[in-house]
Amino acid sequence: MTEAAPRAPRAGVAMTAIGVAVIRAWESRRPDRLYDDPAAQLFVDAARRSIGAGPDGEERWARFEALAEQFYEGRSVSVRLVDDDVLAAVEAGCPQLVILGAGLDTRAYRLPLPGELDVFEIDLPELFAFKEPLLAAADARAVCARHVVAADLRGDWAGALRASGFRAEVPTHWIDEGVLGYLRREEAIRVVDTLTDLSAPGSRFGVAQFDTDQHSGRYTELRRLVRPGADGPREPSGLGPAAGQWLGEHGWRTTFRAWDDLVAPLDRPAALGSRDLGLILAVRQ
């Protein structure tokens, strides 16, 4: 009997992981690519078979790819910047990496990481139900110790993380590639408050500082795709504009890095034209 193909998420924030995989697959085909992610196309092909099925499937997939194209330049550059931060954190002595809302992340497979590094991927169960069978079928092998943590960041994810072998007594590098922006402000603060409690001195955390117009065309379309019918006023989400101040008041030393300075060496049209937008690198004191 043929095993059923894994079903791709068709709604909710888990679906954005497919869009990022599309972007990583496109980037990996370029001769001047910023990174190479062989597994991205595997996820994209499986997602297209799943999402593209049915009478309106092809139209929905075309809409999905068109939206990914609008986010391509900035999102692809962001993947590379996070890669660089991961390697810098390992070099600085962080033996653990925790990816919040990991989605279809494959850094445990594609980056030159030490075998003794522990990588913890946190995301919803339905995301891993799609991802894990595809990696297993491809006989993909992580270069380090990879731990799947199926948990909702709005619930007791810390307990699930500890149960997976996480050690709060050693420095950790925390990654948020946008999932906090999908949580209500109080939920996002609660997540960062929890990870602060779990962070030994020397732990690192990257936070974006952007003033995104949520009513611009591409963000409105993204909201509709993720949450059909979500056209009303948007509740405050993420850590907000005072993220750096909050972190500073809770035991983190912060350094702001302007986005345009970070992307300039990469020679891509991803500059934003503002010195106030960028990434905050926080180090636990």
Q: Is residue 37 part of a domain?
A: no
pLDDT at 220: 62
Q: Is residue 9 part of a domain?
A: no
pLDDT at 2: 45
Question: What single-letter amino acid sits at 164?
Answer: S
pLDDT (average), residues 124-142: 96
Percentage, residues of the chain above pLDDT 90: 74
Average pLDDT, the chain: 90
pLDDT at 201: 98
Q: Quick check: 146 pLDDT over 80? A: yes
pLDDT (average), residues 194-199: 98
* pLDDT tens digits along 235-260: 677 888 889 999 999 999 999 999 99
Q: Is residue 30 part of a domain?
A: no
Percentage, residues of the chain above pLDDT 70: 89
pLDDT (average), residues 199-205: 98
pLDDT at 219: 60
Who has greater pLDDT, 195 or 222? Answer: 195
* pLDDT tens digits along 23-52: 999 999 999 999 999 999 999 999 999 887
CATH number at residue 182: 3.40.50.150
Q: Is residue 86 part of a domain?
A: yes
Angstrom distance (rounded) from CA 285 to CA 270? 33
Q: Is residue 47 part of a domain?
A: no
Q: Could you tell me the CA-to-CA distances from 127 to 6, 11, 285 in Å, in that order?
A: 10, 11, 34
Tokens of 38: 């062989």
Q: Is residue 136 part of a domain?
A: yes
* pLDDT tens digits along 108-121: 999 999 999 999 99
Q: Is residue 20 part of a domain?
A: no
Domain holding 136, by residue range, is: 77-284
pLDDT band at 269 (very low <50, low <70, confident <90, very high): very high
Among 63-72, 114-123, 230-239, the least confident range: 230-239
- Total count of domains within the chain: 1
Q: Is residue 118 part of a domain?
A: yes
Who has greater pLDDT, 182 or 192? Answer: 192
